[in-house]
Structure 1
């Protein structure tokens, strides 16, 4: 593999690029900054509550049929077909507005099929706004920005990276004078239709998030929400959309530049990917997606969804958590918003008056800080899925306090073999013994064999030729009565650098559903990390797997473990 090929494979996690990027930038210097005096017309979510749109009517009928006393409903989307089908259904049902906010949209077959449906919605009069973090928009993935030049579609890039988009290497020159800002990213995920239905959770848009990648696929979870809580999600979208950190695509790149980039991608042997990333394309990649027997591209029938109606609230980081170009990071607050009462874990199920307008949870809190507060209020049991788990001191103290109160804490994270960028595993591994000593139960997702190449996030099938599973869900279940689903990881990057969003739903039924999925994953699909009688770490094999227990990180090569042992001291927790 050439050096350029290696750079192309440094992906998925922002931090995995920084050591090489920093060396390159320091060696070669920087380039121009971001455009000035950018025109950003202000727009807000359309109020469709009083209109007889298809989705508004559907929500009202579903609620009446269920005899629900709460106005907002929720359904967990744990399977890739449900996750994809729900988004496709929202696009095809939208009559007024579509708002999409994502950390990454990959130019591949599943995104192309979905985005072409978005283009069709725009052509029938739906107002479309797409807000995308700018870090991954290079090379083939930059072609997604062609959406901005479609009629009735606006697209903005959040916290742009200066520099040419033709290659990852060239863009990095623009980071040298603004390193602290560029390594902070908008990690939020929202997919909203007519201000009445929406999806949030861990998934970005791309084949690997919907079970269609040949080599590596993410295990993820979203929640489909309906009712007034979606208006809160829309207000969150508006706060980012109208922020000066959001740049209209036209201020960053012209259509002619994107056309030249498309030709360059084609000539480099990535024609299928270039076509798949083009909204107006009818590329073979898209046709194969539609005809694949392993993939149902039909939209979900939203009328048949079994919604659970419950009180809920939302935590979202302020956009100011990310500094403007040349500025120092501003004090940040996680705003708790929710028109649905009773979302506090100690609240009763009795309907109450609507809460006051959104206010900070407490001065200086972030979304992750808000979750630490929830941990401090947990009484009996805490179930957590965090794919990238790098606990800071305050997080470890929260776990210790919970254990001192007798709270059972179980946590599922990636194993070294299942981690798409294993250097993050270093930050987790150095805290494992402390966590076990305080009584935290640790489970690591079982995956296929991981070798040296995977240390750099390199794609490729396992030695056995099978697709590698990688954990990407971000979920908490508190005392069997509250579920938290969002974009956040329990790591210092989510706490200190990236902006995040989380939906807090107070429902025993939904909590039981999520807990059952987590229990099954821990029991049947994960290694249980424990201490042996002589004090060494031992990985107990998943139930029914027929595997033997392991005494080193299972399914990983010696070369990979040695490399990470060497790199570990150079990788501070707060950048992982």
Structure 2
């Protein structure tokens, strides 16, 4: 499983025990002065670009009064191909905002399209949260020194980038700031086409992970709402917490991180990120890097040609947290009304059905009150989250399990996704959709675990929120988030079908008896059976969650 989510959540749940130690450490350092910066903004008239004219022609052809169009990206291939298509089609601007970009094979392929865009004169801006830019992943920062590319790191940590643990240790004196992270995920071309959703950039998010893969969901957007996405990007890009990479480290610093003993024998002209792919990564010569454009074009639902992409035109709204939510200061005063607050307000207006997908689900008292009010009015509430075995963040599961009994008692349906093996050499389209099939158990070529990573809320089968937010207190009060809110019964029906398909084919339904004993029910006709204790989780993993529980306050998860 991916370790970074676990490290992020676990670190900040036990961090206070280490503060005294940090106070004695000489490595605690402050951030450098930024110096003068040049602000930059979205295009003044994006509709005049070729991509803008394409949106307008598609809108005219659809004969719609709605000014924004959408398409679900529910497969790994489709999500990857859509990003490649946007980078290749951009003529003026390309803006990327991410929590994590991993230095591995799929990233090398995708970012090569970004480099090509910069070389043909496209202004490229990349805004990356600084938490994960250590070790091999620090090589992603080479992009900051590419002509035509500007890269900034949001809310940086002090200290060496050689290891994440070392950086955290030397930053513990500033824990109130460093625990708040920019979790937003946007990919925007010419301020007219964009992608929002749950995926970071890396093999595990595009079906190419060797040990595990994330089951995820994005949405491709076109039209007016993308200008709102661009305005949000600008606000973060020009915020004082966005540091130019060059103020934090030099090209020589990155090269020094690359030249460790294991890399000394590598060719000096090797691709900059593939050359330092983490152990166990498919690397630059396997899986996605070997996929040709023709293969992507023939892949089911892969929108490589924007002219041929079908769009659902619908009213929409961008929900986004203010940058002030991050950094020093009081959480609530700086955060204001958050994305999760807005979603809770919308849930309270539901009349029939609320469907939630959240990989890390730690409701907290305010959210539990909303659920209780909904159930009292007869509104059906269903939740899909990770089982312990499929969860890459055991600390988050420690928080979630505190609420299972109370949620079931009030009539909330809980479904936990089964961690199932799939072949690395088989179907690469490991988004939500492949989990609808019956061939989930894996095949020859090596098995890979699955971890739910999608973040969605669907209200009354007509209003869909898809974005970067989890339904937990960390997303509500600590991390910044962004979501697209789309009022389209057709799009909501498609997303609901995908989620309900997961209920039927690859998730347990939780029940509890009169004594509060939990039972994990397998779907009718499943090849696996009912369970009476955290399905497929090892004893060691169960003991780990037990050990973490006392050090995992809800607000840190």
Counterpart in the other structure of 1:396 = 368
SS in 1 for 2:483: strand
Q: For 1:58-93, what per-residue CA distance to the aligned partner results, in whole angstroms no more than 9, with x for missing partners?
A: 212221222222110000000000000000000000
Choose from 8, 11, 15 the match for 1:17.
11
Choose from 64, 69, 72 the match for 1:73.
69
- CA apart distance, 1:533: 5.9
- CA apart distance, 1:12: 5.4
- CA apart distance, 1:505: 0.3
Q: For 1:207-236, what per-residue CA distance to the aligned partner results, in whole angstroms no more than 9, with x for missing partners?
A: 000000011000000000000100000000
Q: What is the CA–CA distance in structure 2 between the aligned matches of 1:521 and 1:377, rounded to whole Å?
A: 26
Q: Considering only aligned residues, what root-mean-square deviation do their CA atoms show, in Å? A: 2.8
Q: For 1:152-182, what per-residue CA distance to the aligned partner results, in whole angstroms no more than 9, with x for missing partners?
A: 1100000000001122233123312200110
SS in 2 for 1:99: strand
Q: For 1:442-470, what per-residue CA distance to the aligned partner results, in whole angstroms no more than 9, with x for missing partners?
A: 00000149xxxxxxxxxxx99x9520000
1:133-148 → structure 2 map (5 Å cutoff): 133-148=129-144
Counterpart in the other structure of 1:163 = 159
Q: What is the CA–CA distance in structure 2 between the aligned matches of 1:145 and 1:403, rounded to whole Å?
A: 48
Change (3 A) 1:543 1:301: farther
Counterpart in the other structure of 1:38 = 35
Change (3 A) 1:91 1:516: same
Higher relative contact order (CA 8 A, sep 6+): 2
Q: What is the CA–CA distance in structure 1 between the aligned matches of 2:448 and 2:314, rounded to whole Å?
A: 37
Q: What is the CA–CA distance in structure 1 between the aligned matches of 2:163 and 2:226, rounded to whole Å?
A: 37
1:456-495 → structure 2 map (5 Å cutoff): 466-495=447-476
- CA apart distance, 1:266: 4.6
- CA apart distance, 1:124: 0.3
Q: What is the CA–CA distance in structure 1 between the aligned matches of 2:124 and 2:99, rounded to whole Å?
A: 17
Are 2:507 and 2:523, in contact at CA under 8 Å, matched by a contact in 1? yes
Q: What is the CA–CA distance in structure 2 between the aligned matches of 1:269 and 1:491, rounded to whole Å?
A: 45
Counterpart in the other structure of 1:513 = 494
Structure 2-normalised TM-score? 0.88
Counterpart in the other structure of 1:456 = none
Change (3 A) 1:432 1:280: closer
SS in 2 for 1:331: helix
Change (3 A) 1:403 1:443: same
Residue 194 of structure 2 corresponds to residue 198 of structure 1: yes
Structure 1 outlier segments of 4+, above 6 Å: 268-272, 278-281
Choose from 526, 529, 550 the match for 2:531.
550
Are 1:448 and 1:555, in contact at CA under 8 Å, matched by a contact in 2? no
Q: What is the CA–CA distance in structure 1 between the aligned matches of 2:110 and 2:544, rounded to whole Å?
A: 39
Change (3 A) 1:278 1:160: farther
Choose from 101, 107, 123 the match for 2:103.
107
- CA apart distance, 1:365: 1.5
Residue 41 of structure 2 corresponds to residue 47 of structure 1: no
Are 1:400 and 1:438, in contact at CA under 8 Å, matched by a contact in 2? yes
Counterpart in the other structure of 2:258 = 262
SS in 2 for 1:69: coil
**5+ residue gaps in structure 2?**
298-302, 422-440
SS in 2 for 1:409: strand
1:278-427 → structure 2 map (5 Å cutoff): 285-288=283-286, 289-292=288-291, 296-297=295-296, 300-324=304-328, 327-329=329-331, 331-333=333-335, 364-427=336-399
SS in 1 for 2:101: coil
Are 1:81 and 1:295, in contact at CA under 8 Å, matched by a contact in 2? no
Q: What is the CA–CA distance in structure 2 between the aligned matches of 1:143 and 1:43, rounded to whole Å?
A: 25
Change (3 A) 1:276 1:414: farther
Bigger Cα displacement from structure 2, 381-390 vs 517-526: 517-526
- CA apart distance, 1:332: 3.5
Q: For 1:384-422, what per-residue CA distance to the aligned partner results, in whole angstroms no more than 9, with x for missing partners?
A: 100000011000000000111110000000000100122
Structure 1-normalised TM-score? 0.86
Bigger Cα displacement from structure 2, 236-245 vs 564-573: 564-573
Are 1:332 and 1:366, in contact at CA under 8 Å, matched by a contact in 2? no
**5+ residue gaps in structure 1?**
1-5, 334-363, 450-460
Counterpart in the other structure of 1:27 = 21
Q: What is the CA–CA distance in structure 1 between the aligned matches of 2:267 and 2:394, rounded to whole Å?
A: 30
Residue 181 of structure 2 corresponds to residue 185 of structure 1: yes
- CA apart distance, 1:290: 3.3
- CA apart distance, 1:330: 6.7
- CA apart distance, 1:504: 0.5
- CA apart distance, 1:24: 6.1
Q: What is the CA–CA distance in structure 2 between the aligned matches of 1:573 and 1:295, rounded to whole Å?
A: 47
Are 2:461 and 2:492, in contact at CA under 8 Å, matched by a contact in 1? yes
- CA apart distance, 1:276: 5.8
Counterpart in the other structure of 1:502 = 483
- CA apart distance, 1:57: 2.2
Choose from 105, 115, 119 the match for 1:123.
119
Q: What is the CA–CA distance in structure 2 between the aligned matches of 1:573 and 1:85, rounded to whole Å?
A: 37
Q: For 1:527-565, what per-residue CA distance to the aligned partner results, in whole angstroms no more than 9, with x for missing partners?
A: 000123654211001343222211111111223213322
Are 2:394 and 2:544, in contact at CA under 8 Å, matched by a contact in 1? no
- CA apart distance, 1:426: 0.9
SS in 2 for 1:16: helix
